[in-house]
Amino acid sequence: MHNLKLYALYRAKQPIIHTEETIGNISKIKKMRVIHEGKPVPVPALSGNSFRGQFRDILADQMFAILTEQGTSRIKLPPDHYGVIYSGGVMKGRSKMGEKMKGMADAIPMLRLIGSAFGNVMLPSKLAATHIIPYAVETQAVIELTVNGLSDDWRDLLPAEPPKRSDLLFNDGPLTRKDDTKDLTKQRYAETEADLGQDEERTRRQMIYYVECIPPGTFLLQEMYSKYPLDDLELGCFFDGLLAFLREPSLGGRSAAGYGQVQVMYQVYLSDEQPFEVRSGQSVTLPQLVQGAIQQYRQYVEQQKQDILGALSATAISQEAQDDALESAE
């Protein structure tokens, strides 16, 4: 069993968005209150839960990439099971999902690592993530221990004079948001020919707005740690997902539009191993223990494919079956 702790340093390469509410035509960034000089002051921050949600998606995508042999097949999941994997499930009474919790947790290391809700039963997460807090004058007391956990060379990158919280925000825009009746990801219908050529009406129904962002160049810090010891499969699952995140690291929303791109450095403390660094944009040499855990995890998912699909009540659809279905539809 393994105990894990990571100290994270992020440096924004692009503006970071993490909105909480919209006032007028400005989407406000999420803020947390810290005590500075005896007074509570709000500073922008990204919630640890948002990072865990992003990391959950990565872990699930990595697992399904193995199960589908890198996309050569597809897997059909019942809605409740999909929610357990990708969104952390839903707490609701009179649900029979709780009866499936043990079977799914036993078969799927990801669920034991990140936790989920199974109707009226909660499987606790073994992984905790703190808020992601900017390096600023007002946050020095809050992030002191995290800064001390970094390696010397990355600690030296931090500015000698931290920025003030007033320098950590700017309004980006104007951006446009289409009316939801034209958003096919939110409305389950296809546009008809009658909808074509209505550019003037669509423009009129678009909303022009601005969004508060954390500016490029900002340093942000975070800690992640295991609340309970991890077994080899859970450790391998974690680092398999972490390496995937480091290939294209981003924080916050609208990453597909170029926001949130960051440089990342993790200082990793793993049980009795010597501390080691993992960085984005560089080849990673992991300790043998970690390499072995990743390999063991990936082999487990491959070899236990049928047990995992059975626990998920999932159906595997081969590429040939997909092609036949498309031909029949045509």
Structure tokens at 1: 């069993």
Contacts of 192 (CB under 8 A, 6+ apart): none
Q: For residues 174 and 196, which has the higher predicted lDDT (pLDDT)?
A: 174
Q: What is the pLDDT of residue 184?
A: 44
Is 290 within 8 Å of 235 (Cβ atoms)?
yes
Q: What is the pLDDT of residue 194?
A: 44
Q: What is the pLDDT of residue 205?
A: 52
Q: Residue 170's Cα: distance from chain center in Å?
A: 24
Please, what is the average pLDDT of the chain? 80
pLDDT tens digits, one per residue of 90-105: 766 666 766 777 888 8
Q: Please provide the distance, in angstroms rounded to a whole number, between the alpha carbons at the two ends of the chain.
A: 53
Q: If DSSP codes are grouped into helix, strand and coil, which group holds residue 317?
A: strand
pLDDT tens digits, one per residue of 193-223: 444 444 444 444 556 767 788 899 999 999 9
Is 13 within 8 Å of 216 (Cβ atoms)?
yes
| Amino acid at residue number 271 | S
- Reply yes or no on whether the pLDDT at 174 is more than 80: no
At 9, the pLDDT band (50, 70, 90 cuts) reads: very high
Q: Residue 298's Cα: distance from chain center in Å?
A: 20
Element (DSSP H or E) covering residue 290: helix 288-303
Concatenated DSSP letters of 148-183: HTS-HHHHTTS-SSPPPGGGS-EEEEEEEE--GGG-
Q: What is the pLDDT of residue 31?
A: 85
Is 237 within 8 Å of 145 (Cβ atoms)?
no
Contacts of 205 (CB under 8 A, 6+ apart): 178, 179, 181, 182
At 187, the pLDDT band (50, 70, 90 cuts) reads: very low
* Confidence (pTM): 0.79
**How many other C-beta atoms are found inside a 10 Å radius of the C-beta of residue 73?**
15
Please give the Cα distance from 226 to 125 (Å, whole number): 9
Pairing assessment for the beta strands 219-226 and 4-12 based on DSSP bridges: antiparallel
pLDDT tens digits, one per residue of 258-287: 788 999 999 999 988 788 888 888 777 888
